[in-house]
Amino acid sequence: MADFFRIYEENPNPKEVERVVAILKRGGIIIYPTDTVYGLGCDITNIKALERIARIKGVKLEKSNFSFVCHDLSNLSDYVKQIDTSVFKILKRALPGPYTFILPGSKSLPNPFKKRKTVGIRVPDNNIALEIVKQLGNPIISTSIRDDDEVIEYTTDPELILEKWDNLVDLVIDGGYGDNEASTVIDLSEDEPVVIREGKGSLEIF
């Protein structure tokens, strides 16, 4: 049975965030709100938790395209090769916001991702997600929770999410209704930006 409790986005209660971080540090998997859809996440440094998420999603961990959710851009160099000024300006304009940016991966990526040439970086405009990552002290690995329904791609109601995911995860955070539009994915790993998926984030950042 998953834990289930409310955290308010306007002013997340530090004690509740501490509870989330304790679950993550124990290797737990959480479902949490972002500025787009609800995400499935775990501590990037916990191999067993990473393997669990890969199993849940039915993918090989090394080949997964999970995003790294960061608190801000200050630790970017831990995961991303040096980027030029024009790319950094785009990131500064867009983040925090509903974007996933594909960037060239550095040599210091966590072990399961060592062979990756690129990495997806997210800094969501959602205080709950940002506070969790800030208190944890490192990124969480994240992937969207898609719905099996062909009409509704993403479940927005936390209580319905709990019903479906109760036995698969350790915690579902009720952060209010989520969005049902995913992030805009932009590849900045080559010379020219390439839009991989147009989602909630506007393309007027260029």
- Answer whether 28's CB lies under 8 Å from 171's CB: yes
Is the per-residue pLDDT at 177 higher than 90?
A: yes
Domain positions in the chain = 3-197
Mean pLDDT score of the chain: 94
| Confidence bin at 69 (pLDDT 50/70/90) | very high
From residue 115, alpha-carbon distances to 19, 119, 153 in Å are 33, 11, 31
Q: Strand 140-144's sheet: what is its strand order?
A: 3-6, 171-174, 30-32, 39-43, 140-144, 67-69, 118-122, 99-104, 184-187, 194-197
Residue 150 confidence (pLDDT): 63
Summarize the confidence of residues 188-201 as an average pLDDT: 95
Residue 10 confidence (pLDDT): 95
Residue 146 confidence (pLDDT): 79
pLDDT tens-digit series, residues 103-128: 999 988 888 998 889 999 999 999 99
Is the per-residue pLDDT at 147 higher than 80?
A: no
Q: Name the class of domain 3-197.
A: alpha beta
Summarize the confidence of residues 41-62 as an average pLDDT: 95
Summarize the confidence of residues 118-140 as an average pLDDT: 97
Does the model's pTM come out above 0.85?
yes
Q: Write down the residue that tokens 């955070």 correspond to.
A: 173
Pairing between strand 194-197 and 184-187?
Answer: antiparallel
From residue 127, alpha-carbon distances to 6, 102, 124, 134 in Å are 13, 23, 8, 10
Look at 155 and 142; give whichever has higher pLDDT: 142
Residue 156 confidence (pLDDT): 92
